[in-house]
Amino acid sequence: MEKSWPPGKDSKEIVENTRRPAGKKILIAFSYWEQLTMATNNFLDLTALAAYGGRHVVVPFVKDSWFYGSGIKKGFETLALYFNVTALNRTLLSRGHGTLISWKEFQDVCKGKLDVLVHFDYTNLTKTTTYSRGTRAFFPCKDRHKNTFRDFKVGTTICMNVFALDSVDKFENEVVKRLPCVGLAQWRGSHNKLPYKAQFNLSSVVRDRMLYNDADIFFSSKLLQVARDFIAKNLSPLFVSVHIRAERILQKGKTIATVKKCISNLTTQLQSIVNVRTLSIPVFLATDFAKFGSSTFRAKSARKETKSLLSILAPLKPVSFQPSAYNLLTDRGAVAIVEMNILASAKHLFVLGGGTFQAWVVKQFLNKNNNIEQKSTVKCRSEQCNNLCYY
């Protein structure tokens, strides 16, 4: 029997309304650059940056694991599709982050105009003559300035090199000049050891910073219920889960042949575990090359080999989540959250490939099991397959 998927296009996010004086200041990022795990991290980074200037962050729109600043015209859902926004906002406030503002309230304040639009430049200072630390870290960039951006009128467009300016204070007071309505064309988060992110020291702004792996307690209750429903009807209390991230193996310069060999190794290892038990143990499988898996180029290339990859896993008779059984649940990000919670609910977990999404799955699995012995006896093989672990 099909189940209806509640948040339709008429649903509205609920943001706990902390009334502010008329001089409220706002940050909106139009792109968060990455998929679910790191997009969540980048979003939380933005709320930390916003805290310094007493700003509020506009609740993002979401589609297939990607976060966007605007999306009403495209029919996108808000962040409420993935998270309990009210509870998240309450915790952001208690942890010292900037809090959230709804799209409607943002429109009421800014009235379709951005005072400043910032374009971040990630070119290393040794490779550019356009920017320099101290003398030309940022400037009004006329060549990129247009009167409108994503249907917003724009007052000033600023180009800023992330390596030339890493001071949160200078960003707030000199770059955006404490103006109320500030947009970021693309926000990649901040990490001073990564060359493709802003270099702000956000820990100096928020001591108890939230990161992506703090956010799973705010997952949508509707998505969690879907996961519980699937487990009850398709698995058993004692099942084994498997997560395969083929794109991470391919990202290391390996071929699809290597991916097949790694999956074969995983299958053999899992069979040795399952076969020592007298009872038949169900195996739950989630992969990035499934229909609702990752949308990156490498995952798509692995998807072309889906049939041959799954044939290697056939002896396990794995069970996979079928979104079609839950009417209207067709968003990749929503499916990923459901699968993450099914994976983390298993008695044992096998992971192959690595990456931040997989690390998030493992973290939740260990937290749910709360088994110190299990944490200390993790078996990993990572030479060829990037990451192949059994918990």
- Segment-wise mean pLDDT, segments of 10 residues, the chain, 391 residues: 42 43 86 96 98 98 95 86 98 98 96 97 94 94 86 96 97 98 98 95 95 96 96 93 90 83 91 68 91 70 80 93 86 96 95 93 90 59 75 85
Closest residue by Cα to residue 348 from 381, 374, 310, 385: 374
Please state, as a whole number, how many other Cβ atoms lie within 10 Å of the Cβ of residue 178: 14
Which tokens go with 123?
A: 């070119």
pTM of the model as a whole: 0.88
- Tell me what pLDDT residue 387 has: 79
Ranges of beta strands (E only) in the chain are 3-4, 25-29, 55-58, 61-63, 66-68, 77-78, 100-101, 113-121, 138-140, 148-149, 152-161, 181-184, 240-244, 283-287, 326-327, 348-352, 379-381, 388-390
- Tell me what pLDDT residue 358 has: 94
- Tell me what pLDDT residue 374 has: 54
